[in-house]
Amino acid sequence: MHVHILGICGTFMGGIAALAVRAGFRVTGSDRNVYPPMSTQLEALGIALTEGFDAAQLDPAPDIVIVGNVMTRGQPVVEALLERGLSYASGPEWLSREVLKTRWVLAVAGTHGKTTAASILAWILEHAGREPGFLIGGVPENFGVSARLGAGPCFVIEADEYDTAFFDKRAKFVHYRPRTVVLNNLEYDHADIYPDIGAIQRQFHHLVRIVPGSGRIVWNAADARLAETLAMGCWTPLEGFSREARPESRWSARPARGADDFSRFEVLEGGEPRGTVSWSLIGTHNVENALAAIAAARHAGVEVREALDALQSFRGIARRMQLRGEVSGVRVYDDFAHHPTAIATTIDGLRRRVGAARIVAVLEPRSHTMRMGVHRQTLPRALAGADQVWLYTPPDLGWDTDVVLTELGARGHVSAEVDALSRELARAVRPGDHVLIMSNGGFGGLHGKLLAELERSAGAAPGAAGPARGP
């Protein structure tokens, strides 16, 4: 059967493509603005790509067209699809019908931490010999791919609340029919489709309504909006977690002695120690992700001791505080943070690791919500933990960044062009600095451009030695 995927290079749709290939379908697809890691994954799978959304790509007609949520009415391929009466489905609908219907689905939802928590959960199940399938909005280093079918009954999915398709405005996650659900947190986001926080809570309530009574909802008991959402109705046993112990939390944690960055922490169940974890991640937000994954995995039958052992060898996710390189003592990181809360927790985690060393935060306000300026009042507070801040301000940014710069004072800077930004950063940083580049896109290759500028500067310096490259 021939499956053609519109919008194939998004992380979710690229994962759908990988699953379809492994399931024996012939897969083609189309998109624009392709960048790694998804483009390299698709090439490795042997999937033929069409650039753009012209109608000719539907000749000869595929057996089914899977429509990504980036597609809109008016695009030639969409109009041709409807005029010709071809068979089509959304990605979540196709996934539910072809992959998930016979699986134990473990869905990880929330405004932040979905990718990390889902990756940790998948690795715990893998380490325990369960051979899970998964579809994750990033590339876990332990697996090297964002999606696989898996041989076992469990399937881990990053459960996004974004809308499904132009013809289905429900949240994606209502299609998945999970038995185990993680609710990490709930904040306002996706301002392009949700008018207020109440609209998002309603979607999460719809997810809660479809979890069976024999299932499990693992939730962040420190999140007031999740508590409000669950109070709208819940028919499934709850299991709470929070970094600090609370009456509603079965799971909590505390840092090990000398590990204020939480690179080593103790896991508590009901206030009783269950074991200590030493791992490659840092930050309190990642501890919460780990607690959620431990609880969800146990619902699927994995003992706590096995889960703790798996965390020791968890290697992180591409583009989540990923060290891209080091030149002349300047370390450059790539991180996906794109919401004020995620930005603040990422900076806090790095600060706990580097102490008094300078942190230079570089932010591309790229998400729809960021570009609309919804978070402009909370961004200064989110960036307050950095010593210097650069905001990328392309000409089509939909709001005035002066409100952010005024609060940041001398620490705040703007740049409207990526190449110029890389040069400005190279001149401003100094040995010992940690440059944290944050975007939910490719940021025009800024990471590589900055490292190249630093190498040129190092090579031009009198008596300079060769630059050192990070992993």
Average pLDDT, the chain: 92
Residue 341 pLDDT class (50, 70, 90 cuts): confident
Do 120 and 136 meet the contact criterion of CB atoms below 8 Å apart?
A: no
What would the pLDDT profile of 24-73 be if each residue is shown by its tens digit? Answer: 999 999 998 766 666 777 888 889 889 899 999 999 999 999 999 999 99
**% helix, strand, coil for the chain, step of 5:** 35, 25, 40
Distances (CA, A) of 459 to 445, 450, 456, 463: 21, 14, 5, 9
Domain with CATH 3.90.190.20 in the chain: 322-460
Distance CA 7, CA 142 (A): 27
The token pair that represents 300 in the structure block? 């699927």
Phi, psi dihedrals of residue 296, rounded to the nearest 5°? -65, -40
> 318 is written with which tokens?
């591409």
What distance in Å separates the CA atoms of residue 196 and residue 194, rounded to the nearest whole number?
6
47: number of Cβ within 10 Å: 19
SS3 state at 172: helix
Distance separating alpha carbons of residues 50 and 434, to the nearest angstrom = 39
Specify the pLDDT at position 398: 79
CATH 3.40.1190.10 domain residues, the chain: 99-312
CATH 3.40.50.720 domain range(s) in the chain: 2-91
Q: Report residue 178 as tokens.
A: 């999970």
Give the pLDDT confidence score for residue 460 in this predicted structure: 66
Q: Is the model's pLDDT at 371 over the cut of 80?
A: no
Under the banding of pLDDT at 50, 70 and 90, the label for residue 467 is very low
What is the structure's pLDDT at 77? 98
Best-predicted range by mean pLDDT (89-103, 308-322, 325-339): 89-103
Q: Which two tokens stand for residue 457?
A: 């500067």
259 pLDDT band (50/70/90 cuts)? very high
SS3 402: helix
pLDDT at position 313, please?
96
pLDDT band at 174 (very low <50, low <70, confident <90, very high): very high
What is the fold of 2-91?
Rossmann fold (3.40.50)
Q: Write down the CATH superfamily of domain 99-312.
A: Mur-like, catalytic domain (3.40.1190.10)
112 in Cβ contact with 285 (< 8 Å): yes
Q: Please check the confidence at residue 471 and state whether its pLDDT lies above 50.
A: no
Is the per-residue pLDDT at 396 higher than 70? yes
How many CA atoms lie less than 13 Å away from 428 in the CB half-sphere?
Answer: 22
Query: How remote is the C-alpha of 289 from its chain's centroid?
Result: 12
Classify domain 322-460 at the CATH topology level. Answer: Protein-Tyrosine Phosphatase; Chain A (3.90.190)
- What DSSP designation does 65 have? E
Dihedrals φ, ψ of 5, to 5°? -115, 120
